[in-house]
Amino acid sequence: IFVAILITLSMITVNAQEDMKKSIQIINPRPDFTLMIRLDKGAGATYAPGERVRVYFRTTRNAYVAIFGYDSEGTVKLLFPNQYQKNHFVEANREYYIDGVIEPGTKP
């Protein structure tokens, strides 16, 4: 009985993880349009409070772009457009960037 319960709990955990992956999967309805985003330190990087960060982005078509960031507390902040880059229209195949500093009190 213990083995059956353990297997059942394991299956529930796996199913929950698979459901979570499905819930955040983004399907591009227009494969001819792509938005590429990268960080100055590369994928999977971590940043400490007070550290500078640069986010680069580019689209394959002219577009209106809004980029949001969120911290470990779940607070959402509009990163682009911003006070320095007020227009959210971006030209195709042109790289743009956003500079910022990780705010103190933010968990890495």
Band of the pLDDT at 32, cuts 50, 70, 90?
A: confident
pLDDT digits 0-9 by tens, 61-100: 999 998 888 777 788 888 889 898 899 899 999 999 999 8
Concatenate the DSSP letters of all residues of the chain into one string: -HHHHHHHHHHHHHHHHHHHHHHT----S-TT--EEEEETT-TT----TT-EEEEEEEESS-EE--EEEE-TT--EEEEES-SS----EE-TT--EEEEEEPPTT---
pTM greater than 0.85: no
Evaluate if residue 47 carries a pLDDT over 90. Answer: no
pLDDT digits 0-9 by tens, 2-26: 344 444 343 444 444 444 444 556 6
